[in-house]
Structure 1
């Protein structure tokens, strides 16, 4: 158990696949953002994730977590890289990731391979919208399966990113800071939180 109502989900679910993209350079900024590869969620979101993990197993899949709790300083770096509120929450509102109530996920098949979702994680374009008509039919079906799995656990999706799910009413949770550090970017240092 972590402080500030955050739980380390790698410890809570040892079999869960985790690839924290913002702890690597494999993200929209092209550089690591998180100093620590710690995958944390608010205790309320952990309860929903437990249900989604079980639903995925029944459906023949496993979840792969790509992001969970995100420090506000990391949100500033992402906003600098993509100042478009369709894809990155503006700092004035704060991200539900920074409340510990949002999680980015995809599916793994029975062989442990990532399921085709039509776009990669962090592709900030209309093709990443959950129901874009230009996405191949099988990828649309995979997105629908992921959505059903996460909805069954108690999460809701958003209109612009097939991978993003959050607890209903997330805005009522407080922003959480001071949990772990981020690498700074020269541009982000000029942004006041």
Structure 2
């Protein structure tokens, strides 16, 4: 009988422990997904005519896969950034052009994905298009990849100019033949953008906004984009013709990590 009581006490203690674990473990493990501060908006709600071709939700990236944290093909930015883009868009529409965004707010988890990929020197599946003249081991040293990005603060966008009327850019097919991002426009991956001299996310010095090798129509197109955005408060990153930051930034020292998604019906 004593042995039976001992066994029953052990079983009761085990059951209690399991019950405690089952009631506390989910609470301990569940981490609510971060959400955007109220200062962020979906660009489409402020400037609906701006074309959106959100590359990082697709496999047509320098990594060859969709980027962690991109759940919807939606551009999210701070409201002042969106309003400035709306003003720039109005200027371009009067000239027969439209802005097109490739990337806007970028969560820190996406930047971390970039870093993990850059550290894997064996993965070069997209080298022939995005960095054919750069050794992958140089991506950090040459500034193409960093552990922090201004995009995560919400006031930085990657964008281009499209001549209207615009046909959509065809989807990238994984495994298709790749062409260098700095080649002639007719040979690069098709893009309904005007000819900027290189494709988006081209890891090459030819992508520097004022590279002297870029002349004629290509230079004029870059200057049109730069001049239009500068007139409404954006500053260009000299190493990337597509990269602009609205100043003053709403969050100059904050790096956010909420996912890229904007549910229908969400506040704007």
TM over 0.5, shorter chain: yes
Structure 1 residue 145 and structure 2 residue 181: aligned? no
Structure 1 residue 70 and structure 2 residue 124: aligned? no
Structure 1 residue 86 and structure 2 residue 165: aligned? no
- The answer for the alignment partner of 1:7 in structure 2 is 41
SS in 2 for 1:108: strand
> Structure 2 CA distance, aligned partners of 1:36 and 1:96?
20
Moved over 3 A (4+): 79-82
Structure number with greater Rg is: 2
**Cα distance, 1:125–1:158 mapped onto 2, change above 3 Å:** same
Unpaired segments ≥5 residues, structure 2: 1-34, 119-138, 167-191, 262-268
Aligned Cα root-mean-square deviation (Å): 2.0
Structure 1 residue 26 and structure 2 residue 60: aligned? yes
Task: Give the deviation of 1:110 after TM superposition.
Answer: 2.3
* TM-score, length-scaled by structure 1: 0.83
- The answer for the alignment partner of 1:98 in structure 2 is 152
Mapping for residues 1-193 of structure 1, pairs under 5 Å:
3-4=36-37, 5-33=39-67, 34-79=70-115, 80-81=117-118, 82-84=139-141, 86-88=143-145, 90-91=146-147, 94-112=148-166, 113-170=192-249, 172-180=252-260
Greater displacement, 72-81 / 15-24: 72-81
Is contact 1:6–1:40 with CA below 8 Å preserved after alignment? yes
SS in 1 for 2:106: coil
Is contact 2:198–2:207 with CA below 8 Å preserved after alignment? yes
> Structure 1 CA distance, aligned partners of 2:62 and 2:80?
28
Task: Give the deviation of 1:174 after TM superposition.
Answer: 1.5
SS in 1 for 2:231: helix
Greater displacement, 11-20 / 124-133: 11-20
Is contact 2:237–2:243 with CA below 8 Å preserved after alignment? yes
Aligned length: 177
* TM-score, length-scaled by structure 2: 0.61
SS in 1 for 2:92: helix
